[in-house]
């Protein structure tokens, strides 16, 4: 195995000289010696050189053809077919020429399977080569047509996708514009609301004017006396206050009323019936002003009682309206 590896490697210049010296002992011709020297210096291995040296049936020209085939990297199988025993130099030359043109190994074997002249081999190989080129051209045409169809389909698909993308982009742009418009409207409304809020904060608080409602009862007196005008306490229409404030005001007014009425009644010249009517008015919630007018009206006890009832009714109506 080591010997085979030694023969298959490229030799150095010294090794080539030693190899040629060894060949001289075998009495090779000068042409063969020169061919071997040239092949070894080219880079062929001793094993490759010996593949044609060991062919005793080869002439110098056949060895030259074999050397050229080795340099052109013919495969071992092709070499066996093209340089089969019994072939002449011209046949080997034609076979090697068409191998270089691209004839297949099977076609080469078919041509050389029968005895043919070099001219017949050349014509036959040329026909085979032409058919090979035609057969090779058919798939290319079919492939071209198929590729063209695929290309056309791809272009159509590309155009369709571009149209879809453009439509989507337009839809998105319109949506963005609509959102921007709505956002601007919302911002304007928000700014208007803030402006109104600021105006309300800066505006001084105004207490509403509460309307006052007053009543006056006209009481017809005895013949020859003028009618008596009995005012009913004015009413302020206002919002309800807290119970504590209302109670405090009522308590204060009642205490003050009792003090004023004692003084007023004690100074007037009233009968027991008149005093009873005034007391009934106080119990039924007549105001200080109403009671004062009642003391000075000079009506009989019966009329004074009626006046009290009218005043009570008017005060009740006032509270309902408030």
Tens-place pLDDT, residues 150-167 = 988 899 989 899 999 989
Q: How many whole angstroms separate alpha carbon 233 and alpha carbon 214? A: 6
**Could you say which of 133, 150, 177 is where a domain stops?**
133
Decide if pLDDT at 288 tops 70: yes
C-alpha 166, offset from chain centre: 17
274 contacts: CB under 8 Å, gap ≥ 6: 299, 300, 301, 304
- Domain assignment of residue 162, yes or no: no
Minimum mean pLDDT range among 3-7, 77-81, 227-231, 273-277: 3-7
Predicted confidence band of residue 74 (pLDDT cuts 50, 70, 90): very high
Q: How many whole angstroms separate alpha carbon 314 and alpha carbon 289? A: 14
- Domain assignment of residue 238, yes or no: yes
Decide if pLDDT at 129 tops 80: yes
Q: Which domain holds residue 43?
A: 2-133
Residue from 100, 98, 120, 123 nearest 108 by CA? 98
Q: How many whole angstroms separate alpha carbon 227 and alpha carbon 298? A: 11
Decide if pLDDT at 22 tops 70: yes
Instruction: Name which residue leads in pLDDT, 197 or 320.
Output: 320
101 contacts: CB under 8 Å, gap ≥ 6: 129
Considering the domain architecture, whether residues 129 and 219 belong to the same structural domain is answered as no
Residue from 223, 224, 249, 226 nearest 236 by CA? 249
- Domain assignment of residue 35, yes or no: yes
- Domain assignment of residue 206, yes or no: no
Considering the domain architecture, whether residues 236 and 127 belong to the same structural domain is answered as no
Considering the domain architecture, whether residues 127 and 222 belong to the same structural domain is answered as no
- Mean pLDDT of the 175-195 span: 82
- Mean pLDDT of the 290-299 span: 89
The percent of residues in the chain predicted with pLDDT above 70, rounded, is: 77
- Domain assignment of residue 154, yes or no: no
Decide if pLDDT at 180 tops 90: no
Decide if pLDDT at 237 tops 70: no
Predicted confidence band of residue 91 (pLDDT cuts 50, 70, 90): very high
**Could you say which of 78, 109, 133 is where a domain stops?**
133
Minimum mean pLDDT range among 33-42, 109-118, 223-232, 302-311: 223-232
Number of domains into which the chain is organized: 2
Minimum mean pLDDT range among 96-110, 190-204, 286-300: 190-204
- Mean pLDDT of the 24-43 span: 91
- Mean pLDDT of the 22-44 span: 91
- Domain assignment of residue 156, yes or no: no
- Domain assignment of residue 158, yes or no: no
Considering the domain architecture, whether residues 6 and 127 belong to the same structural domain is answered as yes
CB 113 within 8 A of CB 89: no
Q: What is the pLDDT of residue 207?
A: 55
Predicted confidence band of residue 70 (pLDDT cuts 50, 70, 90): very high
Minimum mean pLDDT range among 96-105, 189-198, 304-313: 189-198
Considering the domain architecture, whether residues 129 and 224 belong to the same structural domain is answered as no
- CA separation, residue 99 to residues 65, 77, 169, 211, 285 (Å): 13, 12, 62, 128, 143
Predicted confidence band of residue 127 (pLDDT cuts 50, 70, 90): very high
Strongest mean pLDDT among 56-65, 175-184, 290-299: 56-65
**Could you say which of 133, 153, 177 is where a domain stops?**
133
- The average confidence (pLDDT) of the chain is 81
Considering the domain architecture, whether residues 13 and 121 belong to the same structural domain is answered as yes
- Domain assignment of residue 272, yes or no: yes
CB 257 within 8 A of CB 289: no
């Amino acid at each position: 195995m080591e010997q085979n590896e030694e023969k298959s490697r490229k030799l150095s210049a010294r090794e080539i000289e030693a190899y040629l010296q060894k060949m001289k002992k075998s009495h090779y011709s000068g042409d063969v010696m020169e061919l071997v020297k040239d092949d070894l210096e080219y880079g062929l291995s001793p094993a490759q050189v010996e593949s044609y040296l060991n062919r005793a049936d080869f002439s110098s020209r056949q060895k030259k053809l074999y050397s050229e085939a080795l340099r052109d990297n013919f495969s071992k199988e092709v070499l066996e077919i093209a340089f089969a025993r019994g072939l002449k130099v011209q046949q080997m030359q034609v076979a090697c020429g068409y191998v270089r043109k691209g004839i297949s190994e099977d076609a080469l074997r078919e041509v050389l399977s029968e005895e043919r002249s070099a001219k017949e081999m050349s014509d036959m190989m040329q026909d085979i080569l032409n058919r090979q080129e035609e057969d090779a051209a058919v798939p290319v045409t079919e492939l071209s047509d198929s590729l063209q169809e695929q290309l056309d389909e791809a272009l159509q698909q590309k155009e369709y996708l571009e149209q879809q993308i453009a439509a989507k982009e337009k839809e998105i742009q319109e949506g963005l514009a609509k959102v921007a418009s709505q956002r601007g409207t919302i911002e304007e409304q928000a700014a208007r609301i803030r402006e109104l809020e600021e105006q309300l904060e800066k505006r001084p608080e105004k207490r509403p004017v509460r309307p006052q409602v007053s009543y006056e009862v006209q009481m017809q007196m005895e013949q020859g006396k003028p009618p008596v005008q009995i005012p009913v306490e004015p009413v302020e229409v206002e919002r309800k206050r807290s119970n504590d404030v209302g109670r405090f005001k009522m308590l204060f007014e009642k205490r003050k009323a009792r003090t004023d009425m004692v003084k007023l009644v004690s100074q007037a010249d009233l009968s027991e019936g008149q005093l009873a009517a005034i007391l009934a008015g106080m119990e039924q919630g007549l105001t200080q002003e109403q009671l004062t007018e009642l003391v000075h009206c000079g009506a009989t006890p019966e009329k004074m009682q009626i006046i009290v009832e009218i005043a009570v009714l008017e005060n009740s109506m006032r509270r309902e309206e408030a």
